[in-house]
Structure 1
Amino acid sequence: MGQRKRSILAAAGAVAVGLLGFAAPANAIANGEQVKPGRYAFSVKLTMTGIPTADGGKRNSACSGALVAPQWVITAGHCFRDANGVRVERPVADSTIATVGRTDLTNTERGHEVEIVAVRQSPTADVSLAKLAEPIRDVRPIKVGRTAPEVGDLVRVTGYGSTTSTNPAPVTWLRTGKMEVAGLTDTVTQLKGNSPQADTTPCPYDSGGPFFVERGKKGPALVAVVSNGPSCPHTQIESAARVDNIAGWIKEVTS
């Protein structure tokens, strides 16, 4: 399938990969593991219903993300595109619901489901910020790191995507894995699989999922979000959108 964005398009019962001038997207952490209930509660599932298509139809899709402020979710910029595939600063679907603080999506007694009401796009990276209709006060947002990870550092990723690029479908339980930093560019953190396996990687519907460093009592720090990579699982290079060098923009928007 080649490289692809980490969000999947579903229309008329068919599934296709969505592209935005980057490589393709990822699934719910291939060859990862389930997250223990309550861990990484800042992780977010975005469910889009009724996205307009170029032929006048509708499609459904999903992305992952993370709560970075009580009323803001960070995700991939390509998660919000119009019928022509152009990134836009508005919700594009008839309904976009953020599920926050729910490890098991089937357990509706926990967490929140909140509508997305506005979108802001980074002018330099495949990153967007989605505003919730109301703030969430009982989930601690993840801090946005202002320092880039170094080559060789291990970072963790979470997501609700698929576990394979073959007939992909989102999972109902948050999954996670670790990847190793392989390189940096001005806008991208390059990563390769580390654990539980060497081919632990994001998959379709993982677009926008958080990559973060774990710092013990200081808490996790966000360093990038899932953007694109080869068909999963894979042992090649994954390209994540850096956030450390747009931390000022993120603070400005979310404040």
Structure 2
Amino acid sequence: MRVRRLLTCALAVVTVGALGTSPAAAIANGAVAEEGQFPYAVKLTMTGIQPTGGTAYDSACSAALISETWIMTAGHCFHDGDRNRVSGEPRYGVTATLGTANTASNPGQTRSVTWVEQSPENDIAVARLSEPVTDLAPVALGTRQPGRGQVLSFAGWGATSSSGTWSEQLHWGEVKVSSVRPTTVLVKGYWPAKDTSACPYDSGAPYVDTSGPAPVLVSVESAGPACPHRRDETTARVDVVVDWVRTVVTDLR
């Protein structure tokens, strides 16, 4: 899961502030995303996560806007104190930040996450926002099986290494599909480097096909080796859950 190392995040934030350095950028060996390049990209920040028998901590994930009132992310971003995926009201505070590629220079707009539904097929969840987002274009959901060798773009708010924390800057990169499985897609770094890869807090990051007139969401970030790496990254297929999504997201276009 790309939300590992959560217990170290508070220490990482304190260290950054004390040293006066910039927060880690998202995605290992990725490129800086421009404002408006990924209008559907969502940053999720979680506060007050209470593990069973442990100390509360904060965390983050990435996501994609799929309708005016719903986002799609990794299912494991929403869990109970024992890290079991859960539906319903989030067990901790979750804020979605949209309409920005850099929260330091442009705070964007925020919504609370009020309800979560977990996919019965794979590591995908859809989450309802507290208010509609009417000025940003949602990304369309893919309905076709991905193909081996297909190039996908992805964008996330995670770290640049396995020990980093989440970022104020959205980064992106490209991957190639290396294998297609019944509910997942395996991908490998392609551009700007062969080891361009997702990192902690990139969980739920959208992988999109940009070869057509409009971007299409093919999969979302699920899990992978310590970043950066040149090995397979596991993403959750969107096409196998589209019918289920349509039963939940009533304003899906």
Find the aligned partners of 1:231 and 1:11 in 2 and give their Cα distance: 15
Q: Deviations over 1:68-120 (max 9, x none)?
A: 010001000000010011100034443110001111111345x3110000000
- Aligned position for 1:254: 249
- Aligned position for 2:19: none
Cα shift at 1:11: 6.1
User: SS where residue 248 of structure 1 aligns?
Assistant: helix
Find the aligned partners of 1:219 and 1:198 in 2 and give their Cα distance: 26
From 7, 26, 31, give the equivalent of 1:10.
7
AA paired with 1:105? T
What does 1:55-74 correspond to in 2, within 5 Å?
Answer: 55-74=53-72
Cα shift at 1:41: 1.1
From 208, 216, 228, give the equivalent of 2:223.
228
Structure with a larger share of its residues in strand: 1
Cα shift at 1:220: 0.3
Find the aligned partners of 1:56 and 1:86 in 2 and give their Cα distance: 15
- Aligned position for 2:85: 87
1:207 aligns with 2:203: yes
Moved over 2 A (4+): 10-15, 90-94
What does 1:159-178 correspond to in 2, within 5 Å?
Answer: 159-165=156-162, 167-178=163-174
User: SS where residue 246 of structure 1 aligns?
Assistant: helix
More displaced, 58-67 or 86-95?
A: 86-95
AA paired with 1:80? F
- Aligned position for 2:122: 125
Q: Give the CA RMSD over aligned residues.
A: 1.6
Find the aligned partners of 2:191 and 2:71 in 1 and give their Cα distance: 26
Cα shift at 1:14: 5.1
TM-score when normalising by structure 2? 0.90
Structure 2 contact 33–172 (Cα < 8 Å) conserved: yes
TM-score when normalising by structure 1? 0.89
- Aligned position for 2:47: 49
Q: Deviations over 1:209-247 (max 9, x none)?
A: 00010034x210000000000000000000100111111
- Aligned position for 1:101: 99
AA paired with 1:158? A
Structure 1 contact 49–93 (Cα < 8 Å) conserved: no
User: SS where residue 7 of structure 2 aligns?
Assistant: strand
AA paired with 1:224? S
More displaced, 99-108 or 141-150?
A: 99-108
Structure 1 contact 28–204 (Cα < 8 Å) conserved: no
User: SS where residue 30 of structure 1 aligns?
Assistant: coil
Structure with a larger share of its residues in helix: 2
Instruction: Quickly say closer, same or farther: Cα 1:11–1:32, change in 2 above 3 A.
Output: closer
Identity %: 38
Cα shift at 1:28: 2.4
AA paired with 1:219? A
Q: Deviations over 1:21-56 (max 9, x none)?
A: xxxxxx921100001111111000000000111115
Instruction: Quickly say closer, same or farther: Cα 1:238–1:41, change in 2 above 3 A.
Output: same
Q: What is the aligned residue count?
A: 237
- Aligned position for 1:31: 29
Instruction: Quickly say closer, same or farther: Cα 1:43–1:186, change in 2 above 3 A.
Output: same
